[in-house]
A and B are shown apart, each in its own frame.
Chain A
């Protein structure tokens, strides 16, 4: 058996993780002690966090159910909220049985709360624009990646792979020995698998997973990528910790992020600047940090990486067809002004001005003498050997 149990008094949360498959109930003495302590101390709701519990045999479940039943009997006002993860397929169904014990027990999936912007960004309509974005960034990144340690034959994981197009490009350009692409959006993965099948790309394992709590074992990959994703989580340090964990000692983790307030364009630079400053505020309202790019070095150092390499590049309207750049900005306007600002409750006057900056950015991109840019920061670090 390999599991951990800890009680976080501040959050009234009992966290169970790992594989819990005892031969006999009396092997769960530590759990019983911890559970009794928690139920004694807690007032209101006790949270049972099982989202990283990957195995729980019936012996352990039976014993846990006994603890729960006793707690509900001894403390009738106690509420117990079991927090599962959709990534562990059996978990929600199994723990739902606990709700038979008492109406004070609820079972919920954690994942949705963790991804505050997910609803907006996973909208199927955003998929085409993600492809265009990757097309624009790839012409830079294919040159940048080798400077960060990418080379043929590595075991690679692309975490938060989205629609999987970056993974497909990696497979083609760098022929990894293994390539696992993980995302938390089933529609995106379905799209990724379809695209891979349509184009005859084989060997990419597209996997449903929670980036903050991956089912992947420790020290599995030589190179781990996570692009444009730390910025959409409210706890990026948790993701980095997971990337660090699954990376082999001596391997590297590669991340890209933006600082949207540094998007620029001419003509109409002032309007563009105002709108992108506001973009940062809208994202912050939804607990996402679209300004994270330059903070990457600090995040990587704090996680424990060494040999941190960092650079930035600018996607511009001069990278191929300016209409591609314009299409990306139009999609941003639709989401940021059309959905997020509306959801935040902004006034029509604000939204009109907000939209104007995007339109001016598009104007700059398509103007025969114009220049429009979207800066991106790349950082990579080595997991100490």
Chain B
């Protein structure tokens, strides 16, 4: 089976869905899900261990972002699909207006010319860590292409396209 997004066919690899409240009950779920998914999708990459380590680090940041910015109730899901060297992560996250606005602004800021400087500044800033930091890292260090798709009033889909074998 293939799904088509835009003009590029992506073959689905794996989907994990769990109740949002269950997900949000334990911070370690981010690390565990990231590690599990990375292992599953990396085995047939050229260098499976290196790829899994990179993929899990990237996915962990996305999941940690979602952990902090989601609405209660419903289901959160993580889908990974593949088109050649590109792996697509799609997080479906329950949201409200405030959360949708957070993601929309964050994604919008990623297209700024000085996004790399912003990322470094956020990493080294005094005080609380910028909640957008994971998205900044993906855009700058992992060169991920990030996009947001609204799914009605109470859900959004965060899409991250990663090309890790060429990047590292």
Contact = CB atoms under 8 A, between A and B. Distances in A.
Nearest to B28: A1
Interface residues of chain A: helix, strand, loop or mixed (majority): mixed
Given A89-B168, A90-B57, A97-B123, A59 B129 contact: yes
B31 interface: yes
Interface stretch (B13-21, B43-51, B79-87): B43-51
A247 to B, nearest CB: 17
A57 B61 contact: yes
Contact of B53 (A21, A93, A215): A215
Given A88-B53, A90-B141, A94-B141, A206 B47 contact: yes
Contacts of A93: 141
A55 B60 contact: yes
Given A59-B129, A89-B50, A207-B49, A21 B30 contact: yes
B106 interface: no
A19 B50 contact: no
Interface string A37-65: 00000000000000000110111011001
A55 B31 contact: yes
A63 to B, nearest CB: 9
Nearest to A64: B123
Contacts, number: 81
Interface in B32-46: 43, 46
B168 A65 contact: no
Nearest to A209: B49
Say which size band chain B's interface belongs to.
Answer: 20 to 34
A193 interface: yes
Contacts of B133: 58, 62
Nearest to A216: B49
A5 interface: no
A276 interface: no
A58 B57 CA distance: 10
Given A69-B124, A97-B120, A207-B50, A55 B56 contact: yes
Interface string A1-28: 1000000000000000001010101000
B137 interface: yes
Given A62-B133, A90-B141, A93-B141, A57 B50 contact: no
A110 B22 CA distance: 41
Interface string B133-145: 1100100011000
A77 interface: no
A99 to B, nearest CB: 10
B66 to A, nearest CB: 13
Contacts of A101: 124
B127 to A, nearest CB: 10
16 contacts: A58-B61, A58-B137, A59-B129, A61-B123, A62-B125, A88-B53, A89-B53, A89-B54, A89-B164, A90-B53, A90-B54, A90-B57, A90-B141, A93-B141, A205-B43, A216-B49
